[in-house]
Amino acid sequence: MTQFTINKKHFPGYVEPMNVANDQTWIQAIFPYVEQTALSENWSSYTGTVTPPPSTLTPRINLLICPSNREDWLGAFNSYCANGGRASQGILASTGVYTMEGSENGIFAYRGSLAPSTPKPKITDASIKDGLSNTLLLSENLQASDWYVLAPTLQVVGTPPPAPPATYGLKSGVVMSWFTSGATVVNPPSATWMSINGDKYDLARGSAPRPSSEHPSIVIAAMGDGSAFRLSEKISYLVYAQLLVTDATKVRAGGSGPLTYILNESDYKN
């Protein structure tokens, strides 16, 4: 991730352009920087269908599989999700309308081919006003989708349903999001699956954009500065949302509060 941001001067989008036919996930976008250049080049020259792609394009990549997961998982299995920000922002509506994402809501914005050509959002280190060491970058997720699976093209606003968000705010199976009911952060969550490790053995892959893991009571996560830590499943949803936003002051001004809490490491680290 660091090499991508150094080279591109911004964080990858959760969807990035790849070639004239296909977009790619943030995971595919960083392949050239994690010793997967050949695989990246093969994908870049592939213009066929990605549902599913040929098996030659979906090898097992050990870097993307947490050691606590099963060793027999093959193909494009992926254990991780990125900070996709607020669930109802930036998703493509069924009418094709795109909502430009504010840099205050999360780190990984939509930068795919269906967004306007310019300007595509660019989240930089400077965009993260709350500090890289205070903003969640990556996490484990047992419901993360295969690393090549893109987002749906739906945007539904309103109150999050009790079921996993098959259409509500599901940006991608490789991101985590924070949810609001209207303009207010849901606290406590309106459904178990929305909490860290909630319903972690009961849901389909790609259906729950939140952290989860095989580890008891915790999830291994990383902050924007690259520091890894044990994220507690017992944290308040307000703390979780605050960890995902990059500029809490601007989020509050936009009516997505109350995110007024000053983070303390003891609130989320185990």
Confidence of residue 94 (pLDDT cuts 50, 70, 90): very low
Q: pTM of the entire structure?
A: 0.89
- Tell me what pLDDT residue 2 has: 87
DSSP character at residue 13: P
The 10s digit of each residue's pLDDT in 206-217 is: 888 899 999 999
pLDDT at residue 192, rounded to an integer? 87
Farthest CA pair distance, the chain: 49
Give the E-state strand segments of the chain in sequence order: 15-17, 23-25, 80-86, 136-140, 175-178, 180-181, 184-185, 218-223, 228-232
Q: Looking at residue 101, what is its pLDDT?
A: 73
Average pLDDT over residues 148-156: 63
With 90 as the cut, is the pLDDT of residue 66 above it?
A: no
- pLDDT band (50, 70, 90) for residue 170: low
pLDDT above 70: residue 161:
no
DSSP 4: H
pLDDT at 89 exceeding the cut of 80: no
